[in-house]
Structure formats: C-alpha cells, structure tokens
Amino acid sequence: NVLCNLYIGDRVTKINEAAFKNHYALQSVSMNKGVTVLGKGCFSSSTIEFMTVPNGVNAIPDTVFNSCQRLRRVSVPVSVQSLGPYFLYNTPVLKNVHVNASITIIPPYFCGSCAGLERAVFYGKIETLQGVVLGGIYSLKTIDLTHCEAIPTLQNASSFDGASQGL
C-alpha cells in the first residue's frame, strides 16, 4: 500500500524538517489544529496537491513547499506571521496565491519559477518585498497590491524580474 492521504492527529505538534521530502505518492495532508511548527522543507519535492496550514502555525520556514510539482492550492491562516525564502518556489501548477494580513515581509523567491502562476494578491500589512519575489513567472497576469494598507517597499528593482510582459 502507498500513502496517498495523510491525517496528522491531535497529539502531533510539530512536523520535522524534511519529514515528507521527496514523498512521491502523497496527495493531501490534513493537520489538526495542535500542529504549531512546520520544519524546514517538510513537504518539499513531494507530490502533495492541496494543503491547509492549521491556524496556530505562526511561521513557515524555508522551502516548505519548494518544488512540489503537483501543488494546486495552499491555504495559509492569519496566524502565520512570517514566511521563509523559497516558500512556493518551482510549483508549476499553482495558479493563484493570496498572502494574508499577518505577514509583513515577502521573502526572496517566495513564488519564483512558478510556471503556471497567473495571479498574486497581497493583503494587509505587507511592508517589504525582499529581492526577487515573483521572478521567472511568464504566465503572471496580475499582481494585486490594492488590499495592502500601504504600497510595500521594493528592496531592489528586480522584485518582479522575469515576470510577464503583460503586467
């Protein structure tokens, strides 16, 4: 038998670093609200398709969903206050990204090289876009900053380097 769908029960509070990295059969993960810590790269290069991060996680470290070739949707709760670099890097079938109100800094390569990304919407108190945030995305049609309390600071002119010509 191959593990395709995973439910993480009430006693688990932490997903260790690289716990499901390179897991090529995993399609979905349901986590209880007791999970408060996600380890670096815990789902990277897996075939996960959908993920809802539980409310209570306040930081998502580097590369958690890096190179997830089938990832279509990620829901990030308002409890998340920081994202690590390469959060959704190289997730080619991801179409839309919505960044919630608790996050103030969008890290480098947050969603770089996401070949299918068409729309990125930023909400709330985003203050800074660090480095190349949405680079190398030639399908990108919309970057929506209208829901932000202020226009974020671009740390350099290449924050959207390589994004669609149609922006």
pLDDT digits (tens, 9 = 90+) for 77-86: 889 999 999 9
pLDDT at 98 over 90: no
pLDDT at 20 over 90: yes
Instruction: Enumerate residues 6+ apart whose C-beta is below 8 A from 99.
Output: 76, 106, 120, 121, 122, 123, 126
The residues facing 8 across adjacent strands are 31
**SS3 of residue 28 by DSSP:** strand
Among 117, 105, 109, CA closest to 135: 109
Contact 120, 144 (CB under 8 A): yes
Distance CA 71, CA 56 (A): 22
pLDDT averaged over every residue in the chain: 87
Distance CA 90, CA 46 (A): 12
pTM to 2 decimal places: 0.85
Q: Which residue, chain included where needed, has tokens 């090289």? A: 113
Among 66, 60, 62, 72, CA closest to 28: 72
pLDDT digits (tens, 9 = 90+) for 114-126: 999 998 888 888 8
Opening angle at CA 154, ends 110 and 80, nearest 5: 40
pLDDT digits (tens, 9 = 90+) for 118-155: 988 888 888 888 888 888 888 888 888 888 888 788 77
